[in-house]
Homo-oligomer: A and B are copies of this chain.
């Protein structure tokens, strides 16, 4: 006594939901549901082999709801899949980690907004004193990296530690202050590249990730910044702008990546103490 083919599909007495109904109840679009099926993120509990109809159980609504909320947080589908692999508390923790990243980025953006609004309003800015200096050709040891904004501080710290310990092991003397050269934007979406550099005298072999190269002699314009400036993104950007403006006003041309020179004893000084330079190498216009 087989069921007639036209009977509505059921599991243990509970009727299965067609995609339209499941879409309505979950508030996920049919297109989204088909995509989640294809990706294995939310598969119908039954697919009719003869016509491909998708049938969902109503208890799948819980997973659907969680996916929906995570998507509202703009979490990528791949990451959602990972979160939903986890148990209760671990899943909650994974969400918290994700959200912390988002909060960090949001904070950054607030600084950018402040900066932008000041730029558009053409605010009088605290005068920056622009200095220039001649930098001789130097042999440097450097570590190149591509990192996004949240990791930048730890990347710089670790790289400097590695550079100094390599120099130390080789019995080689560092010269002057370490600096970081920026070859590209570093933010939540762009990962540089950037280069953490220490000049030295003597001879050192390059290692797996340490490059030895000559930084050519050049002029550079710079501003001396207090340690606390790194805490204020808008002010930091204004300082960059001030140096760039000086180059433009004085008909100079930036030809090497701009850099931050960390001359201060970072851990033992206050926010008001001078700690680093923002420097733009330049040539006179060709």
| A residues whose Cβ falls under 8 Å from a Cβ of B | 14-15, 24-25, 27, 58-59, 61, 66, 68-70, 72-73, 88-89, 91-92, 95-96, 99, 102, 106, 109, 112-113, 115-117, 119-122, 183-185, 187-190, 244, 248, 253-254, 285-286
Q: Which residues of B contact A122 (CB under 8 A)?
A: 88
Partner of A95, one of B61, B117, B253, B254: B117
Select from chain B the residue with minimum beta-carbon distance to A94: B120
Instruction: Quickly give the copy total for this chain.
Output: 2
The CA-CA distance from A61 to B248 in the complex, in Å, is: 11
The CA-CA distance from A99 to B114 in the complex, in Å, is: 10
Q: Which of A69, A122, A184, A187 has the most CB of B within 10 A?
A: A69
CB-based contact A73/B112 at 8 Å: yes
**Sorted from nearest, which 8 A-B pairs have the closest CB atoms?**
A92-B120, A27-B185, A91-B120, A92-B117, A99-B113, A92-B121, A88-B120, A69-B116
Q: A92-B120, A92-B121, A120-B89 are in contact. Are A72 and B109 (CB under 8 A)?
A: yes
Q: Which residues of B contact A188 (CB under 8 A)?
A: 72
CB-based contact B115/A69 at 8 Å: yes
CB-based contact A189/B116 at 8 Å: no
Partner of A73, one of B70, B92, B113, B248: B113
The CA-CA distance from A242 to B254 in the complex, in Å, is: 63
The CA-CA distance from A184 to B25 in the complex, in Å, is: 9
A contact patch SS: helix
Select from chain B the residue with minimum beta-carbon distance to A25: B254
Q: A58-B248, A122-B88, A254-B25 are in contact. Are A96 and B117 (CB under 8 A)?
A: yes
The CA-CA distance from A100 to B73 in the complex, in Å, is: 18
Q: Return A249 CB to nearest CB of chain B, in Å.
A: 12
Q: A91-B120, A121-B88 are in contact. Are A285 and B15 (CB under 8 A)?
A: yes
CB-based contact B27/A66 at 8 Å: no
Select from chain B the residue with minimum beta-carbon distance to A61: B244
Q: Return A244 CB to nearest CB of chain B, in Å.
A: 8
Q: Which residues of B contact A102 (CB under 8 A)?
A: 109
Q: A58-B248, A92-B121 are in contact. Are A27 and B115 (CB under 8 A)?
A: no
Q: A27-B184, A109-B102 are in contact. Are A66 and B248 (CB under 8 A)?
A: no
Q: Which residues of B contact A248 (CB under 8 A)?
A: 58-59
